Structure 1
């Protein structure tokens, strides 16, 4: 009798390159615009990302399969997976150049809004690629992370996410953890300004401990922002100063996409204090997860967020799903749209937060003034 064990294979291996579809969408929009002559062609990217992907998510459903522990070292070491993240960057920058050229050509109001949303969504999703790269120890990946952040001008995310958010996640002290009863529109200024202040404080302290000026060239925030300045200046020289308005608008859309994802990842979740008065260790209960296969492929499994917080150095292909993690009712693309409409968001999510805590709202991370209601 043959008792040989079949080696485990990553069933999603051929799917991961689909993540590169996102920066390819603007090129499809160019082709559509040339063929049809319609300014509406520039709405292809937002329609696909915010409309088609959520529908495919419903049809395809969930994938809860986890790689076995013995397969993880080989998965982690495989260059195939990291090269997919590397290839995202040249595609991202090429898409940005194409949208700048289209803006300079005068797309009109309808096409202009579509262009801003197109570039903003591509570069906002690129922040997720920067997130994957920025957590790694390899210097080249950390620099690539800053390059991916440059189009949105959000280079300080490299500091705040790794050294701020991961330390304070699911606590009232974290500007990137949304609170029960807090709408996205209230969360947005709190997280944008709070993250900026926190990152500068963290980086200033790092240089102070090394007895050097915070304005040192090795300041991770300053050199990341310098990349944005150089990039925007080069694009303005290539396509004219009018693209600076476009670049600013798409940057706001891009980092707002990131903050919308932050909003839904930890909504209402709170780490409790232990007997010593310190917050308990982060575990799978402190992040909202989604096992929707399609969105996970497009976002390098960002939706398996609980494992990411517990093991930040794990590469996306090895992240696991946990039964104890609270589950979102849909993938991130659909939940992002829901977050923009606070009454619908609260109708869908507030009772899920309370159920997670057995109906005890005092255990949730609650917005000031909301606990009584």
Structure 2
């Protein structure tokens, strides 16, 4: 077990700061164009996939009782990223629209790279920040999400996803045999709707209408409008278009990860509208060292849903005895998710083995596959096998 003393050292935290090295790659792409526009996505996806092969798995766990004050170098990382991403976006909006040496395709490519960073790193860090108790950190999460026009993700994630993961009430849990290209348009509108409804229900419990100023959607809309206005002021209509490119790429990256994290995993229905508690087995786990550096242990997702309040350095790696394991890290798995036949070939047998391991008593999975509650009945095990 990694001790609190080790965690306190900046050397232990340093690998997680690798994300900052991606920022100059966007600058190089903007300055020189050409093949350099491929650097940000190539390094983020393919280099870290290769590094996973070099560094292997990290099966060590930190002491989960490590006090907050010993995690300074880790919490500073996610806070420091916010001004860096804001300044990067401002610089690109000022420079790229008027850069005569860049073709239209190259300008698109530069902002595609910005979107890779604001999605792979920015939204991921906002996820860490939104789970914290600090008001500052939650505000910083809102800023990162507003930069990609996906502010409702905070409400959806905290009020819907964590509460209903692995059930039909969670839009983000990808259904068994549901390809990403069906999943993606579905979650784009269902997540916004479920987030708004969750916030409206929160206010209704206090006898307040959804129009009350305490509805965070008003803050979301104001921040998003501010970034759109900034894009127009700095880069004109072209700047707005390029801003939308990076936002679209970031949202696509987020939902690709969401698709991978829970594909085909469902909580057992207990009857009466209730499901079993969330356990590590309801999220896919990946112990790949390099991609966990890049993604600040997001791939230890089994533990994140089991203990959502843990900061990322304290997330535990669960073995195959407690949680299903991905064969590769997210950089490889998200690429596979874009090719549904390949994805099903890799993942469907794993889902079936997971079902046999944890729920041998369930012989009819048709309701779970369709993401609906099985009918309430005295005997929860339907008769007759069905895949």
Tell me by how many angstroms 1:18 deviates. 4.4
- Length, aligned pairs only: 363
From 198, 203, 206, the equivalent of 2:199 is 203
User: 1:212 is paired with a residue of what secondary structure?
Assistant: coil
CA distance in 2, matches of 1:248, 1:333: 23
TM-score between the two structures when normalised by the length of structure 1: 0.90
- Conserved 8 A contact 1:57-1:292: yes
Correspondence for 1:80: 73
CA distance in 1, matches of 2:16, 2:108: 24
Q: Structure 1 residues 153, 48: CA separation in 2 closer, same or farther (over 3 Å shift)?
A: same
Tell me by how many angstroms 1:122 deviates. 1.1
CA displacement, residues 226-279 of structure 1 (integer Å, 9 cap, x when unaligned): 111112212321222311111112211111111110000000001002265510
Tell me by how many angstroms 1:300 deviates. 1.2
- Conserved 8 A contact 1:124-1:255: yes
User: 1:274 is paired with a residue of what secondary structure?
Assistant: strand
User: 1:335 is paired with a residue of what secondary structure?
Assistant: helix
Tell me by how many angstroms 1:344 deviates. 0.6
1:66 correspondence with 2:61: yes
Correspondence for 1:291: 287
CA distance in 1, matches of 2:33, 2:39: 11
Correspondence for 1:96: 89
Correspondence for 2:381: none
Tell me by how many angstroms 1:340 deviates. 0.5
1:28 correspondence with 2:25: yes
Matches within 5 A, 1:226-305: 226-274=222-270, 278-305=274-301
1:147 correspondence with 2:150: no
Q: Structure 1 residues 278, 7: CA separation in 2 closer, same or farther (over 3 Å shift)?
A: closer
Q: Structure 1 residues 134, 350: CA separation in 2 closer, same or farther (over 3 Å shift)?
A: same
**Alignment RMSD, CA only?**
2.5
Q: Structure 1 residues 47, 250: CA separation in 2 closer, same or farther (over 3 Å shift)?
A: same
Q: Using the TM superposition, name which of 25-34 and 161-170 deviates more.
A: 25-34
- Structure 1 segments unaligned to the other structure (5+ residues): 1-5
CA distance in 2, matches of 1:181, 1:215: 39
CA distance in 2, matches of 1:121, 1:76: 32
Q: Structure 1 residues 26, 84: CA separation in 2 closer, same or farther (over 3 Å shift)?
A: closer
1:122 correspondence with 2:120: no
- Conserved 8 A contact 1:61-1:292: yes
CA distance in 2, matches of 1:175, 1:150: 21
CA distance in 1, matches of 2:356, 2:257: 25
Tell me by how many angstroms 1:102 deviates. 4.2
TM-score between the two structures when normalised by the length of structure 2: 0.87
CA displacement, residues 97-130 of structure 1 (integer Å, 9 cap, x when unaligned): 2332343125324313322321111111211111
Correspondence for 1:3: none
Correspondence for 1:10: 7
From 44, 49, 56, the equivalent of 1:49 is 44
Tell me by how many angstroms 1:22 deviates. 3.4
Q: Using the TM superposition, name which of 20-29 and 114-123 deviates more.
A: 20-29
Tell me by how many angstroms 1:208 deviates. 2.2
Correspondence for 2:169: 173
CA distance in 2, matches of 1:216, 1:48: 45
Q: Structure 1 residues 327, 86: CA separation in 2 closer, same or farther (over 3 Å shift)?
A: same
- Conserved 8 A contact 1:23-1:95: no
Q: Using the TM superposition, name which of 83-92 and 359-368 deviates more.
A: 359-368
Tell me by how many angstroms 1:316 deviates. 0.4
- Structure 2 segments unaligned to the other structure (5+ residues): 373-384
User: 2:274 is paired with a residue of what secondary structure?
Assistant: coil
Q: Using the TM superposition, name which of 312-321 and 109-118 deviates more.
A: 109-118
